[in-house]
Structure 1
């Protein structure tokens, strides 16, 4: 159910692209299972939420670590494909990874890395939704896997 809602949110954001291109920002709470930055596994530092941003035809999933590093998997929403035959609800192509790193002086350095990758929304157990992003760049592999949980009370 949440997977379908998640996919619907993405499609709604894409359909608004022809208008004034408003920014839609969704904060999703849950459990970060994987965070790999430039080939280095930093999963223990991954935050308890991800941000899904949709503006015009562009959508991104932002994973944040406790040291202030943010990895954004970004792509256009239009070519999203259903992948039922391989057990995946949808596949969102990713054309860029935006790496934001907080320096010792508090300043933020941002690099946009062109890539070919994807965010998948695999089937999950009831009340859960999973986002699994992966992309290879000239600086190495980037991955993020995050599972949300329904906030409905038990027994609902």
Structure 2
């Protein structure tokens, strides 16, 4: 009897573990214009790419900004419900708890640093057919910022 109970508990524990890792990954590539990219307090906006990636897995969401030198800055949060911020002119505010900095070395290797932070991504009002993502975060290595406005290929509706 004890063996059956232990086996059942083991299987239950394994199923919970598998379920937590089996959460689907959603990855959206958004095309548009990068308006600002600041890496550790240094403005590198001219090198910012023409797309950002929004990744959602389970309760975690991130916005990934890239530069032409291979650097990627990911603003990542728990995916907590967005706070409405109408009183300050911002549609919503997504908390950010870490910045993941990936830097490509000249030899092709990639160094990845996870920096704990206090920050947010906000989604201010934009023109019809467009949306803006503006992320800021302060870390022990300095300030990180990214602002990106998407473009729509669809013709405006009449």
Q: Bin the TM-score by the shorter chain.
A: 0.7 to 0.9
1:102 maps to which residue?
104
Superposition pairs for residues 4-23 of structure 1, below 5 Å? Answer: 20-23=22-25
User: Moved runs in structure 1, 4+ residues, more than 2 A?
Assistant: 17-20, 153-156
Aligned-residue Cα RMSD (Å) equals 1.7
Q: How far apart in 2 are the matches of 1:124 and 1:153?
A: 16
Larger radius of gyration: 2
The number of equivalent residue pairs is 140
Task: Quote the offset at 1:36 in angstroms.
Answer: 0.2
Structure 1, unpaired ranges of 5+: 1-16
Alignment check: 8 A CA contact 2:62 2:75 kept: yes
Question: For 1:74-100, what per-residue CA distance to the aligned partner results, in whole angstroms no more than 9, with x for missing partners?
Answer: 001124211122111110000000000
Q: How far apart in 2 are the matches of 1:78 and 1:41?
A: 29
> Please, what TM-score do these two structures have when normalized by structure 2?
0.84
> Please, what TM-score do these two structures have when normalized by structure 1?
0.85
Distance 1:88 1:42, change over 3 A: same
Alignment check: 8 A CA contact 2:129 2:156 kept: no
1:59 maps to which residue?
61
With a CA cutoff of 8 Å and minimum separation of 6, indicate the structure with the bigger relative contact order. Answer: 1
Question: For 1:11-40, what per-residue CA distance to the aligned partner results, in whole angstroms no more than 9, with x for missing partners?
Answer: xxxxxx989421000000000000000000
